[in-house]
Chains A and B, each alone.
Chain A
Amino acid sequence: MAKPIDVKITPTVDVTEVSKRPRKSFYKKHEEMILGSLSMIIAIAIWEAFWQAGKISPLFLSGPSAIAKRFWEDMLHGTLLDDLRYSGTNFLLGLIGAIAAGVVVGIIVGWYKRISMIAGPFLNALYATPRVAMVPLIIIWFGIDYKSKVFIVFISAFFPVLVNTVGGMRAIDRDLLRAARAFCASDWQIFKTVAIPGAVPFILTGVRQGVALGLIGVVVGEMFGGSQGIGFMVAYGGQTFATDTLFVGVIIIAFAGIVLTALAEKLEARFSEWRPER
């Protein structure tokens, strides 16, 4: 006969304790941010230490404090604000034009197969050509004033928007298309309710890439002539061995890149909400 089993069940964990939200230390919660900023701060500190010790020739590299000082002085007494406004306006004009044209052309090329066959070779050839190689030609066409800068931004940002929009229009879900057709949807209804909404995330990916390339465009355009803007500032700083001025420009461009890309990513995420969790 089986003996009655006599086992004392001792709870290994206190239930009330488990149900509490596990406490995370401040460090654990923000580990990535803390480590990231710390490494930046240390790197800058080491750089500054070498600079202060006079180990760095200002002809080749500047120091953090010198760059900060230059930035401050240019802001107050120099042309930095004007340069920012000039570059920013050109960038925005070019970018907005590129998005508008890229989306419209992309939708047309993506929707109509025949137009895609006809326009395809031209667009592919242009897409494959590095935009920098076209800058001299653009300057011949538009001169060295702001029009050529805007156009360089435009041509830089246009292709990523175009290519992604076309991709989005082509990526129409066959099942959705079939369902729409079964419910007697017209081509226009399919365009409105299936093709366009499906293409939006693709278009926003194009915008994000367009922002990054447009930023390169604005800098490159100003380096090729003209007398204003952040790109000009970097080129001028280089030509006159004013490394502090050069660095102010580089850091502004980098900062603009980070902020604008983050904004575009936010927008992209916002419009992809309906996507199943990735």
Chain B
Amino acid sequence: MQKLVVDHLSKRYWREKLDREVVALSDVSLAVEDGEFLAVVGPSGCGKTTLMNIIAGLLPYEEGTVSIDGVKVNGPGTDRAVVFQHASLLPWRSVAGNVRYGMEMQRRFDEPTMKERCEKFTAMVGLKGFEKHYPGELSGGMQQRVNLARALAADPKVLLMDEPFAALDAQTREFMQAELLKIWSEQKKTVVFITHQINEAVYLADRVVVMSPRPGRIKDIFKVPFGRPRGLELKRDPKFLEIEDAIWKIVEDTPEKIVGGRRG
């Protein structure tokens, strides 16, 4: 069953600095199955973040449609939750306060349910015992765990993740990837995961959408043939490296010169 459908979506806006129109997304179409883990990769400027913002309802769009369960996306909704690149935690709220923040804003659950879900998801991301800590006291990895717990606790149909591990060091990132897969296998949420790291995309996703810039469009979609659960050792599998390489070739194929010379 198709959960999320993006149909002939284009997004253009006027760039004051360049004094011309920029086509951020050009005729993007894709369908995400229920329970699927979809990754979107591409170099900066390929429109992947624009795509995510539109799906999240944070950015209006005029051409094409985005729908979830057949309902057109028109602003933010309780059927989606976002895990942001910057943890975006309220610094004056404790871990527990931040985990329940999404639920509080959405007002879908009563107080006992919120409390119960808060405890459940704090424990799920491995932060039991840190409930009373403030974000300023946590490491980058732990902050992203809170970020993830906040999104999951809001019980979305589609979980949107915008380069959530990009700011973490390599080791923490690997660890968080494995952890995310474990949590995802329990939750079976539909996930759209934006990243610029190809090996992260291949490791996590069922399918990898490769985008290219100027204008932002879908270049290719790869099906990742590996079963689950996946261990981190998969990243050294020859077949894995082969897919990674193939995606690299497509990304490299994009006219990087234009990317470098965009300061007009």
Residues of B within 8 A of A (CB): 56-58, 76-78, 80-82, 84, 86, 88, 90-93, 101-102, 104-106, 134-137, 154
Nearest CB of chain A from residue B104's CB, rounded to whole Å:
8
| Cβ contacts A126-152/B at 8 Å (1 or 0 each) | 000000000000000000000000000
Q: Which residue of B lies closest to A272 (CB)?
A: B92
| Cβ contacts A239-261/B at 8 Å (1 or 0 each) | 00000000000000000000000
Q: Which of A174-196 contact B (CB under 8 A)?
A: 175-176, 178-185, 189, 193-194
Nearest CB of chain A from residue B26's CB, rounded to whole Å:
25
Q: Which residues of A contact B104 (CB under 8 A)?
A: 189, 193
Query: Is the Cβ of A183 less than 8 Å from the Cβ of B102?
Result: yes
Query: Is the Cβ of B106 less than 8 Å from the Cβ of A184?
Result: yes
Q: Which residues of A contact B101 (CB under 8 A)?
A: 183, 193
CA distance A275 to B81 in the complex (A): 26
Query: Is the Cβ of A276 less than 8 Å from the Cβ of B57?
Result: no
Query: Is the Cβ of A184 less than 8 Å from the Cβ of B77?
Result: yes
The A contact surface, by secondary structure, is helix
Please tell me if A274 contacts chain B, counting CB pairs below 8 Å: yes
CA distance A200 to B78 in the complex (A): 30
CA distance A181 to B93 in the complex (A): 17
Q: List 17 A-B contacts (CB under 8 A).
A: A175-B84, A181-B76, A182-B57, A182-B80, A182-B82, A182-B84, A183-B102, A183-B154, A184-B106, A189-B104, A197-B92, A200-B92, A273-B134, A274-B92, A274-B136, A276-B136, A277-B136
Nearest CB of chain A from residue B98's CB, rounded to whole Å:
10
Query: Is the Cβ of B90 less than 8 Å from the Cβ of A193?
Result: yes
Q: Which residue of B lies closest to A196 (CB)?
A: B92
Nearest CB of chain A from residue B152's CB, rounded to whole Å:
12
Nearest CB of chain A from residue B189's CB, rounded to whole Å:
16
Q: Which of A178, A183, A193 counts the most B-chain CB atoms under 10 A from its CB? A: A183
Query: Is the Cβ of B58 less than 8 Å from the Cβ of A178?
Result: yes
Query: Is the Cβ of A178 less than 8 Å from the Cβ of B88?
Result: yes
Size class of the contact patch on chain A: 20 to 34
Q: Which residues of B contact A197 (CB under 8 A)?
A: 90, 92
Q: Which residues of A contact B137 (CB under 8 A)?
A: 276
Across the interface, B134 reaches (CB within 8 A) one of A179, A180, A193, A274, namely A274
Query: Is the Cβ of B90 less than 8 Å from the Cβ of A182?
Result: no
Q: Which residue of A lies closest to B87 (CB)?
A: A175
CA distance A181 to B76 in the complex (A): 7
Q: Which residue of A lies closest to B137 (CB)?
A: A276
Across the interface, A182 reaches (CB within 8 A) one of B58, B86, B91, B92, namely B58
CA distance A189 to B90 in the complex (A): 13
Q: Which residues of B contact A175 (CB under 8 A)?
A: 84, 86, 88
Q: Which residues of B contact A189 (CB under 8 A)?
A: 104-105
Query: Is the Cβ of A182 less than 8 Å from the Cβ of B76?
Result: yes
CA distance A277 to B91 in the complex (A): 12
CA distance A32 to B90 in the complex (A): 37
Across the interface, A181 reaches (CB within 8 A) one of B58, B86, B90, B134, namely B58
Query: Is the Cβ of B78 less than 8 Å from the Cβ of A184?
Result: yes
Query: Is the Cβ of B78 less than 8 Å from the Cβ of A182?
Result: no
Nearest CB of chain B from residue A194's CB, rounded to whole Å:
7
Q: If A185-B105, A277-B136 touch, does A179 touch B76 (CB 8 Å cutoff)?
A: no
CA distance A197 to B135 in the complex (A): 15
Q: Which residues of A contact B76 (CB under 8 A)?
A: 181-184
Q: Which residue of A lies closest to B107 (CB)?
A: A184
CA distance A185 to B76 in the complex (A): 9
Nearest CB of chain B from residue A26's CB, rounded to whole Å:
33
CA distance A193 to B100 in the complex (A): 12
Query: Is the Cβ of A182 less than 8 Å from the Cβ of B56?
Result: yes
Q: Which residues of A contact B92 (CB under 8 A)?
A: 197-198, 200, 274
Query: Is the Cβ of B88 less than 8 Å from the Cβ of A176?
Result: yes
What 7 pairs across the A-B complex have the smallest Cβ distances? A276-B136, A179-B88, A183-B105, A185-B105, A175-B88, A183-B102, A274-B92
In addition to A178-B84, A197-B92, 15 A-B residue pairs with Cβ atoms within 8 Å of each other are A179-B88, A181-B58, A182-B56, A182-B57, A182-B76, A183-B76, A183-B105, A197-B90, A200-B92, A274-B91, A274-B92, A274-B93, A274-B135, A274-B136, A275-B136
Q: Which of B88, B104, B135 counts the most A-chain CB atoms under 10 A from its CB? A: B88
